[in-house]
Structure 1
Amino acid sequence: MSRLTVALSGDAMVTRGAPITDEPAARDLRALLRGADFAFTNLEVVPSAGRGHPVHNAAGGGALVAEEGVLDGLGDAGFTVFGCANNHALDMGVEGLLGTVDLLRARGLPFAGIGADLTGARRPVYVDRPGGSLALIACSATYLPGQEAAPPSPDLPGRPG
C-alpha cells in the first residue's frame, strides 16, 4: 500500500512579493510542500487582474487584494489545491470573485468554495496523483448579507459567491 502525504496550511494572505523566499527555512518549507502529494492552502486574497471594485467594507483598508502573479508564487511554492470560501473572496465584488475563478482556471490550479452560482460554489474539486486522489469541499460562515452564492431561478441567473 502506498502512503499518501498531505500538507495543510492556513490562510494565504500574500498581497505582494513571493510567498517563499530563498532563506534556508523558506527553502525547507518549499521542499516540504513540493514533496507532498497534495499541498492545501486557503486563498485569503483576491488576485486581481483589474476586475471588480472594492465592496463597502473593504475600501477602508480591510481588503486583501493582490496582483494575479501571487497565484504563480503560490503554485511555485508547491501549493496544489486551494480553498477559496472565506470572508475576503468578495472584497472586489462579484466581478473580482469571477476574476479569481478565471485566473485559477487559466493556471490549472484546482480550487473549491467559490463559483458563478450556488452549484459552482458547492462543487468539490478532485485532484488525482499517482498515489491516490483528493476531494476538497470549501465553505465559509463569515460573509456579508448578499454575498452568499445563490441558485438560479426560472427568470434570473444564480448569484456568484
Structure 2
Amino acid sequence: MNLAQHLAAHAARRWDDGSENLECLCGWIVDYEQVDFGMGSDVFVQEDAQHADHVADTWREARTVRSDTEVAQLGPGTILRDARGNSWRRGEGSWIGSSGGPAYDPVAPGWGGTLPFPALLVWSPDEDHAQLAGRKAAHSGYQLGHDGAYTCICGHPARTREEWDQHYAEVIG
C-alpha cells in the first residue's frame, strides 16, 4: 500500500447523527476522554490531532519489517533503517549496511551480518512516484479557521497563506 492509498483508507469523517463525532474510515474513533471541552479549547483541533497521530502510527506500522522473510521480498534499491538506527540498501542480492559491517542476506541466515529487527522501510524504488503523489495528496489543501489561521489538511498549523505555501514546498521538495 502506498501513502496515497493509506491516506484514503484512513480519511476522517464526522458522524451524521448530530453528535459530530470524528471517526476514521478504518473504524478508529477519537478518545473523547483525552479531549479538553473547557472554555476556549478547540475540540475540532484536538480531534484532528488525535486522528493525525492515528494515521501516522498506522503508516509507521505498515512500513515496519519484522522478519528475514519480509526483507527477502523487498526489491533492489530498497532502503531500510534497522532497530539500531543503521541504514541498509539492497543491491542485486545482499544488503549493505551504513555501519560498514558485513553484508546481510536474508535468504542465507548465518552468512555475513545480521539485521536487527524491527526495521523501518524508508524508501523503495517501486514507491517513488506513488510516495510523491501521496505527499501531494496529503498536503493538497488547507482549512481556514474562524480566527483566520490556516491548517494544512495534514494537520500542520500555519498563521498565513504564505506559511502554508512554505510548508507545502518543504514537504513536496
Fold similarity call, TM over 0.5 = no
Q: Which is helix-richer, 1 or 2?
A: 2
Which structure has more relative contact order (CA 8 Å, sep 6+)? It is 1
Q: Indicate the structure (1 or 2) with the bigger Cα radius of gyration.
A: 2
TM-score of the superposed pair, with normalisation by structure 1: 0.29
TM-score of the superposed pair, with normalisation by structure 2: 0.27
